[in-house]
Each structure stands twice: as structure tokens, then as C-alpha cells.
């Protein structure tokens, strides 16, 4: 696989204004792709666009079907669609599943399930014949994490969703990236003041003795785009988090 295999291809990254999504967008741009980033926050979206020369941007709230339709309305043909947008619910201390407020549970489902449905449906007419779609799951779908039950269940749903889409949309290839803990703004927000301590603990306990970065995850996404034999697969890029 050549580093320039994405040259001239159109890559759309939904959730591309920060974290893993931004890393994917920047790496794709570095490989010569034409990049469109979509995100809900206009300020962060503008900052991200400024980092990637020649990129396009569109405000997109994936939980809102009308917002998704508007974002994709004028987008040119898509060679690779990546959906990194997600949520663990409210920030700060997490309640157990049985104690969580109904609106918090609904927020997770509206983004991680309905949001992904909205994006795939909204983008379908713009996908090239042999396009790829890369979705995101997570290690919590395989290794239970206290107070992440609602997020973990939606992550597991993405794996089944991708397999079905692979058959339904063929020859479009649909794959899933399943990270574990990642050095990222999302983990920093989720863990709060304990972030650095958490990273040190993970680095000493993960089988890899290494906490993946957003760049590591972006590498896996580009592999999924480029490899024509990868279809309906789940790539675990988690430092072995599901094994301990």
C-alpha cells in the first residue's frame, strides 16, 4: 500500500474538529486527500479547518437528521467516510446504569446509534461505488467498564451494524475501529483531574505498556481505507485493553 493511495480522494470526517477525528483528517490531508470535516461546534470546526490546508468544513449535529441532511447536501462524491463522533454522556462523575438519568441515557443513544444511522443515510447518495465507511466502537464493548453500560452497548451495536452494511451496501466496504483508552481530549474530559494519574496507571498495566495516541488510531483508520480486502472487520487498536 502506497502512502499516496489517498491522493486526490475525498475523505469526509464526521467529528473531525478534535481528538481522533482531527488526527484522521490531518493524516488524510498529509497523504494528499481532499478533506471535509464536519462537527457540531462551529468554533472548534473553524480552528480545525485552519490546521488543514485546502480543507472544507460543515457544521453537523449527527443527532439531528435535518442538520445531517443539510451538511451533506452540497458535498461532492465521497471516497471515504469516517464517523468518529461519539459521547459517554454527561461529563464529570458517572452514575451507574441503573442510577443514570433517562436524559443522559437518551443522549448516548441519540449520538452513538441514531447519529450514526443519520450519517450513513445522509451520506449514502454521495458515496462512490467503491467507497469506504469507517465507524467506531471501543474496548468497553468486550471488556465491561463500570458506569459505561449504555455507551458499551451502543459500541457493540456498531460491530453488527457494520457487518450488515457491508453486505447491504457492497461493494462499499464498512469497517470498525475499536480503541481502548486513548491519550485524547475526550479521555481528559472524562477523567478530569485524575487524567495524568490514569495515563500512568494504564501505561503500567496494558499489555503493550503503552497508551495509544490519536495518531495511532488515525493510522488504523487509513489502513482500513486503503486495504481493499478489509470488509466488515473490527480492528482492535487498544494496547491489549480487552485482555486485562
- Which pLDDT does position 155 carry in this prediction? 84
Task: List the domain boundaries for the chain.
Answer: 10-234
* Cα–Cα distance list, 179 to 10, 65, 74, 184, 241 (Å): 24, 27, 32, 12, 9
149-201 pLDDT, tens digit each: 678 788 888 899 999 999 999 999 999 999 999 998 877 877 788 889 989 99
- Please say whether the structural domain 10-234 has been given the CATH code 3.40.50.720: yes
Strand pairing partners for 76?
Answer: none
pTM of the model: 0.91
Average pLDDT rounded to a whole number, residues 198-220: 96
Amino acid at each position: 500500500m502506497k502512502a499516496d493511495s489517498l491522493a486526490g480522494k475525498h475523505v469526509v470526517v464526521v467529528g473531525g474538529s478534535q481528538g481522533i477525528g482531527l488526527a484522521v483528517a490531518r493524516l488524510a490531508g498529509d497523504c494528499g486527500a481532499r478533506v471535509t470535516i464536519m462537527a457540531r461546534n462551529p468554533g472548534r470546526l473553524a480552528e480545525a479547518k485552519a490546521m488543514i490546508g485546502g480543507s472544507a468544513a460543515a457544521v453537523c449535529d449527527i443527532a439531528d437528521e435535518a442538520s445531517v441532511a443539510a451538511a451533506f447536501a452540497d458535498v461532492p462524491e465521497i471516497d471515504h467516510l469516517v464517523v468518529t463522533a461519539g459521547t459517554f454522556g454527561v461529563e464529570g462523575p458517572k452514575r451507574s446504569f441503573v442510577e443514570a438519568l433517562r436524559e443522559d441515557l437518551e443522549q448516548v443513544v441519540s449520538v452513538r446509534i441514531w447519529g450514526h444511522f443519520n450519517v450513513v443515510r445522509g451520506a449514502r447518495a454521495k458515496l462512490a461505488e467503491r467507497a469506504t465507511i469507517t465507524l467506531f466502537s471501543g474496548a468497553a464493548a468486550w471488556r465491561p467498564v463500570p458506569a459505561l453500560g449504555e455507551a458499551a452497548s451502543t459500541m457493540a451495536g456498531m460491530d453488527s451494524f457494520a457487518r450488515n452494511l457491508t453486505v447491504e451496501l457492497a461493494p462499499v466496504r464498512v469497517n470498525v475501529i475499536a480503541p481502548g483508552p486513548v491519550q485524547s481530549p475526550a479521555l481528559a474530559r472524562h477523567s478530569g483531574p485524575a487524567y495524568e494519574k490514569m495515563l500512568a496507571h494504564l501505561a503500567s498495566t496494558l499489555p503493550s505498556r503503552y497508551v495509544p495516541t490519536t495518531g495511532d488510531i488515525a493510522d488504523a483508520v487509513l489502513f482500513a481505507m486503503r486495504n481493499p480486502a478489509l470488509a466488515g472487520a473490527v480492528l482492535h487498536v487498544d494496547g491489549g485493553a480487552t485482555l486485562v
